[in-house]
Amino acid sequence: MESHQEQQKQLEAQLERAKAKIQASKAQDQQAQKLQWERERDNQLEIFVQQRTTIDNLRAQTEELEAQELRLQAEMEVLHEKQQEASETEARRIRRLVHERTTLLEDELAKGKLDLDYITQVVSSAHRQELKQNQPDNHENTALSVNNLVQDVQERRRRDFEVAESNFLNRMRSFQLEKDELAKKAKELQVTKKRALQILSQNQQLAIKSFFDTPLTEEKRSSSPSLDFGEILQSLNQSGSQVKQIQAVGSERNSGRRNFADALQQARANLERGSKRIEEIQKNLESRKIEAQKLGVSISGAIATGTMESGD
C-alpha cells in the first residue's frame, strides 16, 4: 500500500514536471512568435518608410523637372514669338520691296511718257516751222536739233535708269543678306529648341533611371526619418480616400460611357427601324399602285362592255 502511494506521488511529481516543461515550452514559443512578429512588423515599417522617402524624393525630382519643363516651354514660346516676328518683318520687307519696284517702274514709265510728249511737241513745232519757211537749210537744222534733243533725252533716261537699277540691286543685295541672317537665326533657334527638348528628355530619363538603379545603402537607412505612426495612418487614410475618389471618377466615366453606348445603340436601332419603315411604306405604295392599275383595268373593261350593250 505504501509502495503504491509512493509510486503515485512519483507519477504526480513527474506529471507536474511535465506540465511545467509544457508551460515553459509554450511560453518560449509565444515569446519566439512575438519576437518574430515584432521583427516582421519592424521590417515592414522600415520598408514602408523607405518607400515613402523614395516616393518623396521622386516627387521632388518630378516637381523640379516640371518646373524646368515650364521654363523651357516659356523659353520656346519666346523663341517662337521672336521667329514669328522675324518672319513677319521679312514678309513686310518683301512687300515693301515689291511695292517700291512697282512704283519705280511706274515712275520710269511716267518719265518716258513725258519725254515722248515733249519730243512730239518739239517735232510738231519744228514741222510747222518748216512748213512756214519752206527752206531746206531750216529743215536740216530742225532735224539736227531734234536728233540732238532725242539723243540727250535718251542719254538722260539711260543714266537715270542705270542709277535706279544700281539702287535696286543694292537693296536686293541688302535684302538677301538680311534674309540669310534671319535664316541663320531661325536655324539657331531650331537647334536651341531641339537641344532644350533633348536636355529635358535626358533629365527625365536620368531621374527615372537613378530611381530604379540606385541601391539602398546603409547611410540612407540610417538617415531615414523616425517612425510616426500618426503620419503613417494619415497617409494610409489619404491614400484610401484618393482610391475612393479615383474609383468614383472611374465609375462616373464608365457610367457616361455606358450612357453614350446606350444612346448610340438606340440611334442605330432608330435608323434601322426607320429604314425598315421606309421599305414597308415603299412596299405598300407598290401594292397600292398594282391594285389601282387592276382597278383601272377592270373599270375600263366594264365601261367598254356597258357601251357595247347600249349600242345594241
Q: Which amino acid is at 79?
A: L
Confidence (pLDDT) at 230: 52
* pLDDT 10s digits, 52-111: 888 888 888 888 888 888 888 888 888 888 888 887 887 777 777 666 555 666 666 676
Mean pLDDT for the stretch of residues 236-259:
59
Phi-psi group of 136: left, alpha or beta (phi > 0 → left; psi -120 to 50 → alpha; rest → beta): alpha
Per 3-state DSSP, the chain is made up of helix, strand and coil in percentages (nearest 5) of 95, 0, 5
CA distance 119 to 139: 16
Mean pLDDT for the stretch of residues 287-310:
56
Q: Which amino acid is at 51?
A: Q
Confidence of residue 175 (pLDDT cuts 50, 70, 90): confident
Q: Does residue 89 sit within a domain?
A: no
Residue 193 · residue 79 · CB < 8 Å: yes
CB-CB neighbours of 238 under 10 Å:
10
If you ran DSSP here, which 8-state letter would residue 214 be given? Answer: S
Residue 176 · residue 41 · CB < 8 Å: no
Q: Does residue 184 sit within a domain?
A: no
Task: Answer whether residue 225 shows pLDDT above 70.
Answer: no
Q: Does residue 129 sit within a domain?
A: no
Mean pLDDT for the stretch of residues 211-224:
50
Q: Does residue 26 sit within a domain?
A: yes
Q: Does residue 228 sit within a domain?
A: no
The number of domains in the chain is 1
> In this predicted structure, which of 60-64, 87-91, 204-208, 296-300 has the lowest mean pLDDT?
296-300
| 227 vs 44: which has the higher pLDDT | 44
Task: Answer whether residue 17 shows pLDDT above 60.
Answer: yes
Q: What is the mean pLDDT of the chain?
A: 70
The dihedral sign for the CA sequence 38, 43, 46, 48:
negative
> In this predicted structure, which of 9-23, 107-121, 232-246 has the lowest mean pLDDT?
232-246
Note the pTM of the prediction, 2 decimals.
Answer: 0.28
Q: Does residue 54 sit within a domain?
A: yes
Mean pLDDT for the stretch of residues 244-272:
61
Collect all residues with Cβ–Cβ distance below 8 Å to 129 and sequence separation of at least 6. Answer: 138, 142
> In this predicted structure, which of 16-20, 178-182, 206-210 has the lowest mean pLDDT?
206-210
| 255 vs 10: which has the higher pLDDT | 10
Domain span at residue 58? Answer: 11-66
CA distance 25 to 108: 121
Mean pLDDT for the stretch of residues 182-206:
72
Half-sphere exposure of 285 (CA within 13 A, CB side): 6
CA distance 266 to 260: 10
CA distance 249 to 37: 38
Task: Answer whether residue 142 shows pLDDT above 70.
Answer: no
Q: How many percent of the chain have pLDDT more than 70?
A: 49
Q: Does residue 246 sit within a domain?
A: no
C-alpha cell at 255: 457610367
C-alpha cell at 30: 509565444
Q: Among candidates 46, 44, 48, which has minimal Cα distance to 56?
A: 48
Q: Among candidates 203, 193, 197, 195, which has minimal Cα distance to 62?
A: 203
CA distance 26 to 220: 39
How far does Cα 10 stand from its chain's mean position?
94
Mean pLDDT for the stretch of residues 36-56:
89
Q: Among candidates 110, 151, 145, which has minimal Cα distance to 130?
A: 145
Mean pLDDT for the stretch of residues 27-54:
89
> In this predicted structure, which of 11-15, 71-75, 153-157, 180-184 has the lowest mean pLDDT?
153-157
CA distance 230 to 223: 20
Task: Answer whether residue 265 shows pLDDT above 70.
Answer: no
Mean pLDDT for the stretch of residues 23-39:
89
Collect all residues with Cβ–Cβ distance below 8 Å to 31 and sequence separation of at least 6. Answer: none
C-alpha cell at 139: 529743215
Mean pLDDT for the stretch of residues 244-250:
60
| 210 vs 221: which has the higher pLDDT | 210
Confidence (pLDDT) at 299: 40
Confidence (pLDDT) at 267: 58
| Helices and strands of the chain, counted as H and E runs | 4, 0
Q: Does residue 157 sit within a domain?
A: no
Confidence (pLDDT) at 223: 45
How far does Cα 311 stand from its chain's mean position?
91
Confidence (pLDDT) at 134: 60
CA distance 192 to 132: 83
Residue 138 · residue 129 · CB < 8 Å: yes
